Amino acid sequence: MTMTQTITKPAVTDERVGKRNPLQKLLGRPEVGALVGAIVLFVFFASVSQTFTQPNAFATVLYGSSTIGIMAVGVSLLMIGGEFDLSTGVAVISSALTASMFSWYFSMNVWVGVILALVVSLGIGFINGWILMKTKLPSFIVTLATFLMLTGLNLGLTRMISGGVSSPSISSMDGYQAARAIFASSVNIAGVDVNNTVFIWTALVAVASWVLLRTKVGNWIFAVGGDANAARAVGVPVKATKIGLFMAVGFCGWILGMHNLFAFDAVQSGEGVGNEFLYIIAAVIGGCLLTGGYGSAVGGAIGAFIFGMANKGIVYAQWNPDWFKFFLGLMLLLATIVNLIVKRRADASKG
Amino acid sequence: MNAKQIDQQQLLKDEKDPLTHTPVHLLSLENVGKHYGNIVALTDVTMAVDNGRVTCVLGDNGAGKSTLIKIIAGLHQHDEGILHIMGEERKFTSPRDALDVGIATVYQDLAVVPLMPIWRNFFLGSELTTGVGPFKKLDVQKMKDITKKELADMGIDLRDVEQPIGQLSGGERQCVAIARAVYFGAKVLILDEPTAALGVKQSGVVLRYILQARDRGLGVIFITHNPHHAFPVGDRFLLLKRGRSIGYYDKKDITLDELTAQMAGGAELAELAHELEQLGGHGDIVKEVQAEVAGTENAGATDAGTPNRVRA
């Protein structure tokens, strides 16, 4: 079949380019390891648990995935751009605390706080990126410092302003219902409640994929991650690209922060610690290279989906959730090994 | 006796700008210097680059070649002297500045991003787009076609422009970078040791592309430490040693032997021969070095330390 195709169109193809069948082409993509893992995991949980494949349960899995996935979009892009951010977990909480406490303290419309939180989130991203570019320190150190500082600020400021460890309830304030409708409500599709975050997540993945593969900026992201010096030498604005990536992570953090706030009406100031690793794990499982220059937004999404399935699947299979972290670690290891093998195979099979 | 050096004023008399008909160099340096802290990397270097000419910058490791091209490419700023572009005094603050006036640099090691496909590398930093506003997207097909065509025009027949550029050989990668510079309308093409890491055959291929670029009317600056690569393609030769210019010659005024001798420094070669003899080294090598020394003396090159700077 493929042979005849090659022969009938000799003008377009070069005879030295071995025809790669669609399967080989698929195997060359960064997210393929994660996709295989996701399918295996899905089949596994579907076979051990009756409820796992029920539409309602699946919507819950998707919701769980989306809360990781929204951040994984930004973190994946950042990782492709050659950096990573350890402050994401607590930055989400910082954003939520900013929105709730500002509105509460000044008794303003909730939306004022929401907008301010956006400014703060983008600002944290900007500061991370700017310090990184100025000092040329590794992003590990810079964002670890931001992580610690934000953790302290979250706890300290919350206690100073509200006198407790959690932000005061804002459920009765102006604009709360509207904000809740956007950030934390569900849409009923064919009898199944699907949380808004799932749609936001899907939209973010689509936009990120488009930016990454079909725009100038996407080209620059791959370039600054692959070889920042080469990129700078051919005129790519390396600093602006990297700072922009940190701000994109900040934007994702704002969305998740708003969800966390409006899903309830208050935020625990000590939350978020450790979540940054979940986002990084999702990106890595999804085939993003830790060293930068390779990966995809879809990969990060699949990574988040694997996380969501494992997280909820263990509950549906009625196992002890204590085992969850073990599974997560095992999956991280397996997925990266599969990625490695598949990538080598795909490269070797190029004609 | 010394080979006749270039007088920059004399050089200017023959070169006229096609538009203004005034004598102006595409690019010229006048007594340019650069220091990093208290380390003097470059002092008092004068040279000119013109359309359709290859200017070779020769020197051993640490001679200041890299500093020189980094100044021209906009990666560093010079501290002393003047850099003229088309007669206008300039100081670049970033590689983008240099690119904007048509100075393209092909670096030995950082020419490309290995993991990215060839066509993405080719257009990196100067991507083609279609559409308007936020929906501006890359014109992928057009970029792939142009890449394929431009490379074919340079005589590089690539199999698949979608493959990561890291899979190409060193010579092919250099050629892609040269083709890229030519396509984007570079007026000055700087090549940083393009043949240093290549085998004999691949070096030949790269040298051919240098001549192609020259024939297309580019002013080429070819950095190398190999006079055998420089001499066949060069029109002018600037020799650097320890951050200083030790000679600036036109091709008609110098031979390959003289160039080699100037590069190596006759006295140093003689010393090496003596040392090898004392160590009881291989007879052939000693003879070879002795022959080189003899050649040096015949060529009549003076000690490399003689101050013979070119004055503008």
Report which residue type is found at B211: L
Please give the mean pLDDT across all residues of chain B.
78
Mutate to test the interface with B, among A219, A234, A238, A349 (most CBs of B within 10 A): A234
pLDDT class of B248 with cuts at 50, 70, 90: confident
Q: In the numeric block, which tokens belong to residue B204? A: 């030949």
- Alpha helix stretches (DSSP H) within A49-138: 55-80, 88-105, 110-135
Q: Chain A window 163-192: which residues touch B at a Cβ cutoff of 8 Å?
A: none
Rounded Cα gap, residues B229 and B210, in angstroms: 11
Q: Which of A277-281, B153-157, B292-296 has the largest mean confidence?
A: A277-281
ipTM of the complex: 0.79
- Mean pLDDT throughout A158-175? 88
Contact across the interface for A227 and B113, Cβ inside 8 Å: yes
CB-nearest partner of B138 from A214, A236, A293? A214
**A234-246 tens-digit pLDDT:** 888 999 999 999 9
- Mean pLDDT throughout B272-300? 66
- Mean pLDDT throughout B130-145? 85
Rounded Cα gap, residues A300 and A66, in angstroms: 11
A20 has pLDDT over 70: no
Number of C-beta neighbours around residue A112 at 10 A = 15
Backbone angles phi, psi at B26, to 5 degrees: -60, -45
Percent composition of chain A: helix, strand, coil (DSSP 3-state, to 5): 75, 5, 25
Mutate to test the interface with A, among B115, B163, B167 (most CBs of A within 10 A): B115
Task: Name the burial class of residue B69, with classes exposed (0-12), middle (13-18) and buried (19+) by CB atoms within 10 angstroms of its CB.
Answer: buried
Q: Return the higher-pLDDT residue of B118 and A9.
A: B118
Report which residue type is found at B179: A
A141 has pLDDT over 70: yes
- Predicted local confidence at residue A12, as pLDDT: 44
Q: List CB contacts of A19: < 8 A, sequence separation 6 or more.
A: A2, A3, A5, A6, A13, A351
> Is-contact A131 A87, C-beta < 8 A?
no
Contact across the interface for B96 and A294, Cβ inside 8 Å: no
Q: List CB contacts of A314: < 8 A, sequence separation 6 or more.
A: A320, A321, A323, A324, A327
Rounded Cα gap, residues B106 and A273, in angstroms: 46
pLDDT class of A254 with cuts at 50, 70, 90: very high
CB-nearest partner of B116 from A222, A229, A347? A222
A32 has pLDDT over 90: no
**Residue B56 DSSP code:** E
Instruction: Return the minimum-mean-pLDDT range out of A279-288, B42-51, B102-111, B224-233.
Output: B102-111
Q: In the numeric block, which tokens belong to residue A85? A: 């951010």
**A284-330 tens-digit pLDDT:** 888 888 888 888 999 999 999 998 998 888 888 888 888 888 888 88
A76 has pLDDT over 60: yes
B93 has pLDDT over 50: yes
**B181-197 tens-digit pLDDT:** 878 878 888 888 888 77
Rounded Cα gap, residues B124 and B154, in angstroms: 19
Q: In the numeric block, which tokens belong to residue B73? A: 């490419």
pTM across the whole model: 0.78
Residue with tokens 């919507």: A59
